[in-house]
Each structure stands twice: as structure tokens, then as C-alpha cells.
Amino acid sequence: MKQDAIRLVSKCERCQKHSSLIHQPAEPSLPCYPPAPLCNGDRHRRPFPSGRRPEEVPLMAVDYFTKWVEAEPLARITEGEVMKFIWKNIICHFGIPREIISDNGRQFQGQGYRNGVKACASSNSPQWLILRPMGKLRSQIASWTTPRGSTGESPFSLVYGTEAIIPAELSIPSHRVMNFSEECNENLLRENLDLIEELREKAFLRVQRYKNIMISSYNRRVKSRKFQVGDLVLRRADALKPIGKLDPTWEGPYKVTSVLGKGLTSWKTQRVGPCLDLGMFTISRNTSRKQDPSEGPSGQRGRPCSVP
């Protein structure tokens, strides 16, 4: 009787539409490994609070490997200001970068910016790891001198090969400040520059290990969900718009028209309608209805549905 009740509930469309959301990932993790040093990312942040000075918008560049942050407040973000920032804060300080990755802002898409970047580096436009350090502009020294969990080193040490002296050590003397010797310090700095490549290689290996731990932890939660062409599925009701507390958590049904791979499917309503491409997190299998045999193996009805 219990099994009959479970089968009956599983075929109830209203029960499915009010069922709990699925939080387990459907596909294994696809990690983004960090590139080599001298690969920078540019991004502008939301405006500063208004004040006496005309500077309102900060422009920030991040070295993806060392997580070194360069930031400068600007009155307005234009292609000319961006190129000045790249020349002064990146090229003059660290040399020509191998690659510059920017977001989709207009100041990073103009012809003037592209021509300027082509003269010194290759340009790309995915919005990637730039977002994380954006909240640390008020405490840039702390961002430079704080060791990262992934690399085990601070951005300052990965860039210059040695640890920085923070302002607190000047008021509260530490051992290295009290026993400072200019001649010995110069020799140690040269030695650290000779060993900086080894330091970066160790940091890169730590990043690989850190990523592998994250991948294994994520993949343990994976609950695979495979869909085929013609399957009926439900979509999360809050995937594209907010819903009320008592509204159904799922809506549909929709019919799968093609499987795009990497957790993506293309599907549309049973009636004539546009295609929708969403990931496995937002859809669930619908068992309350079956495919109409008269629709053929493609599972399409009405006008053709184009899939990118």
C-alpha cells in the first residue's frame, strides 16, 4: 500500500509543482584553473558615495595568479582613462602582461581600447575572478599582505618575493624591524628575487591541490539527472521571476527538444512557444504526463524550434 501511495503521489501534477527544490548538483564540477602570472583583469566598481572630490568610480586591476590588486578612483570611466590606468599601474609597474581579461563594460569594448591593448597584450572579455577582491578596496594593504588559502602566500610575496612591513610594525616594533640592517636587507632581497620562481611554482602546486579538494567535495554531492529528447520536465518557478510564498515552486510541463551537454538542455512548452536553455539546477522530471505517440520521436509540435 505504501508503494502504491508513493506511485500515486509521484504521478500527481499538483504535488510535483509544490515539491521541494532540488539542491544537489546534477553535473560534476568544471574548475577554472588560474593562469600564469602577468594575466590581469580589469573592472570598474559601482560609484563611490558623493564627496568633495570629483572622483566617483574606482577602476581596479587584479593579477589572477598572485591576486595583486591595483585600484585608482576616477571621475569617469572612458577608454582614454582606462588606457592611462593600464599604462601607469600595470605596464610601468610590472611590464607587459601576457593577457588582459576585462568585463563587458563599454569602455573595454571600444575600438580605441582594443587598438591600445593589441599593442601591448592580448585581450579577452570573460567576467571571472575579478569580483572577489572588489570588496577590499578600503583595505588595500590588508589585501596585499594577507596570505590566501589557495596559494598559502600573500599577493605581495608572490609579486616581490618577500613579505611587506605593515604600518602596525612601525608603531609596535617586531623582531625584523628592531634588528634591521640595510646591507643585510639588500642581500636578502636579491636572494629572494632569485628564488621567486620557486616560490610561485610551490604556490601553483598548492592551488592545484586546493582545487582538487574542492572538486572532490563538490562531486560527492552530485546526483546525476539525465534527460532525453521528448521528456517532460518542470522548471523552477523562480528561475526567471520572483514568486510568492504559497505559489508553486515548479511550473510547466515543458518538453525537451535537444540535449546540449554539460548540464544544459533546450526545451519548450507543449504548446507553440519559444525555446528555453537552462541548466539542470532549474528543471525536474515530470511524471504526471506521457509523450503523445502522434508527435513523433523528435517531441516537437507546432513551428520548428531553433537550437543554438
Joined grid coordinates for residue 139: 583595505
Q: Tell the CATH topology of 13-26+225-295.
A: SH3 type barrels. (2.30.30)
Joined grid coordinates for residue 167: 604600518
The 10s digit of each residue's pLDDT in 258-296 is: 887 766 667 666 543 444 444 444 566 655 444 444 444
pLDDT at position 93 is 77
pLDDT at position 170 is 76
Given a cut of 60, whether residue 208 has pLDDT beyond it is: yes
Superfamily of domain 39-218 in the CATH hierarchy: Ribonuclease H-like superfamily/Ribonuclease H (3.30.420.10)
Percentage of residues of the chain with pLDDT beyond 90: 0
Is the Cα dihedral 33, 152, 90, 162 positive or negative?
Answer: negative
pLDDT at position 23 is 83
For the chain, the first-to-last Cα distance in angstroms comes to 47
CATH 2.30.30.140 placement within the chain? 13-26+225-295
How many Å apart are CA 208 and CA 242, to the nearest integer?
Answer: 38
| Residue pointed to by grid coordinates 640595510 | 182
Which residue type does 67 have? K
pLDDT at position 268 is 66
Given a cut of 70, whether residue 159 has pLDDT beyond it is: yes
pLDDT category at 5 given cuts 50, 70, 90 is confident
Phi, psi of 170 (to 5 degrees): -80, -35
How many Å apart are CA 108 and CA 39, to the nearest integer?
Answer: 16
Other beta carbons less than 10 A from residue 76's beta carbon: 12
The 10s digit of each residue's pLDDT in 219-264 is: 998 888 888 888 888 888 877 778 888 888 888 788 888 887 766 6
CATH 3.30.420.10 placement within the chain? 39-218
**Among 125, 144, 21, 13, residue whose Cα is nearest residue 71:** 144
How many Å apart are CA 130 and CA 136, to the nearest integer?
Answer: 12
Contact 101, 126 (CB under 8 A): yes
Joined grid coordinates for residue 209: 591541490
The 10s digit of each residue's pLDDT in 60-110 is: 787 776 677 788 877 777 888 888 888 888 888 777 777 777 766 667 777
